[in-house]
Amino acid sequence: MAIKATVFKVDLQVADLDRDYYAAHKLTLARESSETDERLMVRVLAFALHADEALAFTSAMSDTDEPCLWKKDLEGRVELWIEVGLPDARRLRKASTRADEVVLYLYHGRQAGLWFEQNRSELAGLGNLRVLEVSPDSVRSLAGLASKTMDLSCTVQDGLASIAHGEGIVEVELTRLL
């Protein structure tokens, strides 16, 4: 018998001063039994950093033809494809042909660095790909916020992000690798 996904509800306030974007989002995420709190919260972070009314979570854990998040235009063309984790480089190459922009968030610490070094040359040729690494400390702090209902505020300014919650603020350290 398959274990059902756990549903998470997130009230997310976004103040992105870099993009002049300010909005409230009510998010519903399904976390499959194989997904960690770390991955779940990096998905929420990715949403906050690219927040838009057209940005949507997908069923990426079980469907290999979809990213974790994407933004499509009114005609169904993929404008933004967001991956989280350590995908196969071929998947990113395919995504770069299907979307205007592809963004990958790495969050596995040393393992992410090794993955990037192994795939750097292949990824360097993808002009519409950005690779960002979330620091291990930021990932741990974000994972500590995971609960079935969350009330979060994300502020983005000068490329820096902070997530405010009931007990304080998590400063998110991102490094652009590509």
- Residue spans of the domains in the chain: they are 6-176
CB 101 within 8 A of CB 128: yes
CB 75 within 8 A of CB 57: no
List pLDDT tens digits, range 146-174. Answer: 999 999 999 999 989 999 998 899 999 99
- pLDDT, position 62: 52
What count of Cα atoms within 13 Å lies in the side-chain half-sphere of residue 61?
A: 13
Tokens of 142: 């974000």
CB 48 within 8 A of CB 27: no
Between residues 12 and 2, the one the model is more confident about: 12
Q: Nearest-CA neighbor of 81 among 93, 69, 92, 91? A: 69
CATH ID of 6-176, from 3.90.550.10, 3.40.50.300, 3.30.70.260, 3.10.640.10: 3.10.640.10
Q: Which residues contact 90 (CB under 8 A, 6 or more apart)?
A: none
pTM to 2 decimal places: 0.94
Q: State yes or no: pLDDT of 2 exceeds 70.
A: no
- pLDDT, position 132: 97
Cα angle, residue 156 at apex, residues 155 and 159 outer, rounded to 5°: 155
Tokens of 74: 């009114």
Q: State yes or no: pLDDT of 65 exceeds 90.
A: no
List pLDDT tens digits, range 105-121. Answer: 999 989 999 999 999 99
The Cβ of residue 160 has, within 10 Å, a number of other Cβ atoms equal to 12
Q: State yes or no: pLDDT of 3 exceeds 80.
A: no
Mean pLDDT of the chain: 93
Residue 80 identity (one-letter amino acid): L
- Percent of the chain topping pLDDT 70: 96
Q: Which of 3-7, 36-40, 93-97, 170-174 has the lowest mean pLDDT?
A: 3-7
